[in-house]
Amino acid sequence: MRTPILAANWKMHKNVGEAVAFVEEFLPLVADAEGVEMVLAPPFTALDRVGQTLAGSAVKLASQNVNPEAKGAFTGEIAPGMLVDLGCAYAIVGHSERRHIYGEDDTLVARKAAALLAEDIRPIVCVGETLDQREANRTFDVIGGQLEGSLAEVDPARAEDVVLAYEPVWAIGTGRTATPEIAQEVHAFIREGLAKRFGERASQIRIQYGGSVKPDNVYELMAQPDIDGALVGGASLEPESFSRIVLFDRQGSA
C-alpha cells in the first residue's frame, strides 16, 4: 500500500512569525488525520522554527531545494547534512521553477536526489511539461527524459524512498488544474517508466500531482489509481485550506 503524501510547498512566502503561526493553527486542524503523510516545505529561513513547532506532531519537515555537495565554497547554498541538522525528512528537487528560472537540468537534479538519499532525506523529484511541449504532443517524451535523467543516480535499493511529483507547468499557479484523467494518464506513464528502471519496486513509489490543487479538486484527483498525493502551492498557504486538502483525502480514501 502506498501511503498518500500531501505536501505544502510555500515557495518564497512567509517570514518566521507567519510560518510558526500557520503551524500553530494547522496542527489542531489535522490532529485526527490518519493514514496520510503530511509535509510542510517552508523557506530555508523558517525551517528551524517550523521544525521546532512541529516537534512531536505527525507533520514532517521538508526543504524546497538543496545543494548536492556536502560542504565547501558554495556561497549561498545549503548542504544535505545541514537539512538533517534541522530535522528535514524530505526535500523537493527539480521543481519547475528551479528548472526554468534557475536553469537546473536533470543531471543536477539527479545529483541532488542521490546526495539527499545518502543523508537519509527523501527526495521529492518534480517533473512536468510546459504548455508548448504539451501542445506539440511532446509530453511523454519530455516526462520520460526528465524521469530517466533525474533518477539516474538513485540506487534501486532505495527506490521506495523517492517520491515523484508530476507538475504540469501550465497548471502551476494558473488555476488551470489538469483534469483527473489527464493527470492519471501521465501518472500511469510515470509508473511504467519507474517499473522499467526499478522493477516491482515501482508499485511502492508515491507519485504526487501538483498544479492548482485545491480543497475542492483534491478528492477527484486522489481517486485516480496512480495519484498518491499532492504537492500544493497557493492553497497550502492558509491552514484551513491545506487542512481541508489533507482531511478531504482522508475522508475520501476511508
Query: Of residues 82, 110, 113, 172, which one binds ligand 13P by CB under 6 A?
Result: 172
Alpha carbon distance 129, 140 (integer Å): 9
Alpha carbon distance 228, 158 (integer Å): 18
Alpha carbon distance 199, 235 (integer Å): 35
Please tell me the count of residues contacting ligand 13P according to CB under 6 A: 14
Query: Which of 21-29, 51-59, 186-194, 206-214 is the region at the interface with ligand 13P (rule: CB under 6 A)?
Result: 206-214
Nearer CB in complex with ligand 13P: 101/254: 101
- Which residues ranging from 61 to 120 are in contact with ligand 13P (CB under 6 A)? 95
Residue 173 contacts ligand 13P per CB under 6 A: yes
Exposure string over 94-131, b if 16+ CB within 10 A, otherwise e? bbbbbbeeeebebebbbbbbbbbbebebbbbbbbbbbe
Catalytic site residue from 95, 104, 129, 187: 95
Q: For the chain, how big is the Rg over CA atoms in Å? A: 17
100 is catalytic: no
Residue 35 contacts ligand 13P per CB under 6 A: no
95 is catalytic: yes
Query: Of residues 234, 239, 248, 249, which one binds ligand 13P by CB under 6 A?
Result: 234
Residue 129 contacts ligand 13P per CB under 6 A: no
Nearer CB in complex with ligand 13P: 82/213: 213
> In angstroms, what is the minimal distance from the CB of 70 to ligand 13P?
26
Q: What are phi and psi of 93, to 5 degrees?
A: -130, 150
Residue 229 contacts ligand 13P per CB under 6 A: no
Alpha carbon distance 95, 64 (integer Å): 8
Alpha carbon distance 103, 97 (integer Å): 9
Does residue 94 contact residue 104 with C-beta atoms inside 8 Å?
Answer: yes
**Residue facing ligand 13P at closest CB distance:** 233
Nearer CB in complex with ligand 13P: 198/245: 245
Which of 125, 112, 110, 105 is closest to 69 using CA atoms?
A: 112
- Which residues ranging from 8 to 27 are in contact with ligand 13P (CB under 6 A)? 9
Residue 211 contacts ligand 13P per CB under 6 A: yes
**Site residues for ligand 13P per CB under 6 A:** 9, 95, 167, 172-173, 210-213, 231-235
- Kindly list the catalytic residues: 95, 167
